[in-house]
Amino acid sequence: MTYNELLANRVREFLITSEDNIVEKRMFGGLCFMVNDKMLVGVEAERMMVRVGPEVYEEALEREGCTPMDFTGKVMKGFVFVDADVLASNKELSWWINVALAYNRVAKASKKAGKKPTVTKVAAPKKATGGSPAKKAAAASKVKGKAAAGKAASANKVKAPGKKTPVKKSASPKKAAKKSVAPRGTSPKKSAAKTPAQKAAAPKKVAAKKTSVKGRKR
């Protein structure tokens, strides 16, 4: 069974001026026009199938040349047949196509229109053992506190000064002078008490003693 090519050309020219995503498919014994992957109208030999939607369905049936669609022997609400003779005028054809386009914008696309997206299963995360999140947080804070205390204690041990070694006090200048050994022939007390003037007079006394010893020998 062939379709009305003249009527199909008129429908095609009308849709090209307003729509972009248009696809033509052979079905129902005729040529079906799909817009946005949704059925719009179908041209047969002596009639045209129009998808008007459930809201305009009753109003569409009241128009001249319109009958319910019972292609499979069962009435499909939202779909109607319109006689080709009634569509001879462009005004009548545009009315039916505009009604179909209005419902096409709100209608859902067929599930067979596109391939189903590939769904990648994501493995659920393993449940962690050890109690509730609050208990885990408390345990973590305790561990952090212990670690911080350990670091502080080790830092204090490193910084603590070692034991001071006793330093022997050096002898005072006065005591050192007393311990020094005096030269032979002089007593420590006299050598410590002599002044520069006394030291200068000492040779004269030694010379006088020598002369006195010489006199005694004679």
CA atoms of 80 and 116, how far apart (whole Å): 30
Q: What is the pTM of this model?
A: 0.51
**Per-position pLDDT tens, the chain of length 218:** 589 999 999 999 999 998 889 999 998 789 999 999 999 999 999 999 999 999 999 999 999 999 999 877 888 999 999 999 999 999 999 999 999 999 999 998 866 655 444 333 334 444 545 555 666 666 666 656 666 666 655 555 544 444 555 555 554 544 444 444 445 554 444 445 566 666 665 555 545 555 444 445 44
125 is a domain residue = no
| CA distance to 33, 57, 67, 134, per residue, from 48 (Å) | 11, 15, 11, 69
Number of domains in the chain: 1
CA atoms of 115 and 109, how far apart (whole Å): 12
DSSP string, 86-155: GGGSHHHHHHHHHHHHHHHTTSPPPTTSSPPPP----PPPPPPPSS-HHHHHHHHHHHHHHHHHHHHHHH
110 is a domain residue = no
Range of the domain at 86: 5-104
> Taking each helix axis from N to C terminus, what angle separates 90-104 and 5-16, rounded to the nearest 10 degrees?
60
139 is a domain residue = no
